[in-house]
């Protein structure tokens, strides 16, 4: 590689500094290649991290929505049980929240 660079370096800087210029160019080329590899690696790792974060956020949202749907389903089932005339759930709910439990006798099932 140095043999290829020596004629060019001799033309540019002269005979005295030709080897130094050729080696300097080679060192700069290697440093540029190492820098490019480091930049590519950090960019790839950063992209992978961002993709992982997005996947984690999506999974968390799906899990949260599933829990919310389960809570809504439970609330709807409870509401239906309270409204059912054959159930004692309306009476139990009234007794829990009433100041005077005697007012809740109208919710007792027949």
Whether the per-residue pLDDT at 31 is higher than 90: the answer is yes
Please state the pTM of the whole predicted model. Answer: 0.47
Summarize the confidence of residues 86-110 as an average pLDDT: 82
Which has more confidence, 94 or 3? 94
pLDDT the model gives residue 76: 93
Q: Where are the domains of the chain?
A: 2-81
Whether the per-residue pLDDT at 109 is higher than 90: the answer is no
Question: Cα 15–21–22 angle (5° rounding)?
Answer: 100
């Amino acid at each position: 590689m140095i043999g290829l660079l020596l004629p060019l370096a001799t033309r540019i800087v002269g005979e005295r500094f030709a080897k130094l210029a050729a080696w300097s160019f080679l060192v700069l080329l290697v440093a540029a290649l190492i820098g490019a590899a480091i930049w590519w690696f950090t960019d790839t790792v950063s992209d992978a991290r961002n993709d992982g974060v997005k996947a984690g956020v999506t999974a968390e949202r799906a899990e949260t929505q599933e829990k919310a749907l389960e809570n809504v389903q439970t609330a709807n089932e409870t509401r239906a049980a309270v409204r059912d005339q054959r159930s004692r759930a309306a009476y139990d709910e009234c007794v829990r929240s009433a100041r005077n439990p005697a007012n809740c006798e109208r919710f007792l099932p027949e």
